[in-house]
Amino acid sequence: MLPLLFALLIAAGRPDWVERESAEWPREMYLLGVGSADERAVAEDRARAGVARIFTTHVSSALAASTAESSVRKERTAAWTEQISVSEETRSTTDKVLEGVEIVQVWQDPQSHQFYALAALDRQQAAARLDARLESLETSARPLRAHLDAPERVTGLAAATRLLRLERDRRALDGELRIVAPTRPSRAVVEETAARELLARTSVGLTATGDDEGVVLDAVRSALVNLGFAVQAEAAGSDLVGEATVALEKLGNRDGWYWSRVRVEVVLKDSASARVFLNLSESVRDASRIDRESSRRVLAKISERLRKEIPTAFLTTTDNL
């Protein structure tokens, strides 16, 4: 445990950590954050946030890098880039690591009465927490890999999607481990290639009704491609069948505003067994001063929502299979 020095440091003079590196708290051993405010509690919160910001910046960078590095899958003339997300379990692990952050010194400037707080996270302890979580992820992955060759398609697809989430979680945790233990040799990268290949071999025949502009169809296609599936325009011969039903309503003019509402139902099922993988319904209502613009707005909004909700709903369904 870090020594807790909660007594105010006034007589000893201005600590070196307020403006520069601290010999007492070397960055080789600790991740540090400094906060200042008129109130002590606020200064301490800002110091803790300074340490947390290191991890927040990493997660944002990791997402951007993963998106840039992911393969761009082409479907006809459109190109879709796989979006990487970090699961709530990984965020929870980060929170647990940050629980080790302690306020180790507080100093009040005798002239300005401003409080300065120093927060520290022991690198070795943080690395141990991350190592434990990485081992737990690998333990979860082993039985899932064995299920990829299961005779029932539903079992294999459920295992594949879970494995890819575990892979993404490992990627994020490995990045955080590099932050807290930068001199440690990098761990071997574990790629869930077999899971990715299984999804890529699984074709989805996608059709839509009531979508005259093709906006919703494009959104659903994008969401399914981001899950790793090979999407085609016809249901015949496909492994899975996807159906999007669009109902656009004109609600009339009220006080000079043209209102529209759109409802979309998306169903994804196994073509052989009719087993349902996804059954999602969404609706959006919006208005515009221009009649045609109100329809465009609701279609654009629901399309954006579908791009986010379809992957989430699919993963939730497979988690419960």
The enclosing domain of 251 has a CATH number of 3.30.160.150
* Pairing state between β 240-254 and 203-209: parallel
How high is the pLDDT of residue 69?
40
- Rounded Cα distance, 196 and 73, in Å: 13
Say if residue 247's pLDDT is above 60.
yes
When pLDDT is averaged across residues 189-216 and rounded to a whole number, the result is 93
Domain that holds residue 173: 126-197
109/156 same-domain check = no
Q: In terms of domains, do 187 and 228 share one?
A: no
Mean pLDDT, the chain, rounded, equals: 85
| Domain final residue, candidates 197, 224, 259 | 197
For residue 263, give the nearest of 275, 276, 280, 277 by alpha carbon: 280
pLDDT, greater one: 268 or 320: 268
Average pLDDT for 50-77: 54
182-201: average pLDDT: 90
Looking at 122, 150, 176, which one is the last position of a domain?
A: 122
For residue 188, the model assigns a pLDDT of 83
Our count of domains for the chain comes to 3
Distance, CA of 27 to CA of 262 (rounded, Å): 55
91 and 52, same structural domain?
yes
Percent with pLDDT over 90 in the chain: 63
- pTM, to two decimals: 0.72
**What is the mean predicted confidence (pLDDT) over 137-159?**
93
Same domain, yes or no, for 96 and 19? yes
pLDDT for 296 equals 95
Structure tokens at 26: 């070397």
Question: Does residue 133 carry a pLDDT above 80?
Answer: yes
Residue 40 has pLDDT above 50, yes or no: yes
What are the pLDDT digits (tens) for 8-23? 554 467 899 998 888 8
Give the residue, 129 or 318, on which the prediction is more confident: 129
**3-state secondary structure (DSSP) of residue 292:** helix
Q: Which amino acid is at 2?
A: L
pLDDT over 70 percentage in the chain:
83
Q: Is the pLDDT of residue 75 over 80?
A: no
Residue 13 maps to which CATH number? 3.10.28.20
**214 vs 175: CA distance, rounded Å:** 39
Residue ending a domain, among 167, 182, 197, is 197
> What is the per-residue pLDDT for 96?
66
The whole-number average pLDDT for the span 64-92 is 42
2 pLDDT higher than 80? no
Does the pLDDT of residue 307 top 90, yes or no? yes
**Claim to verify: residue 73 and residue 167 sit in the same structural domain:** no
pLDDT at residue 302 is higher than 50:
yes
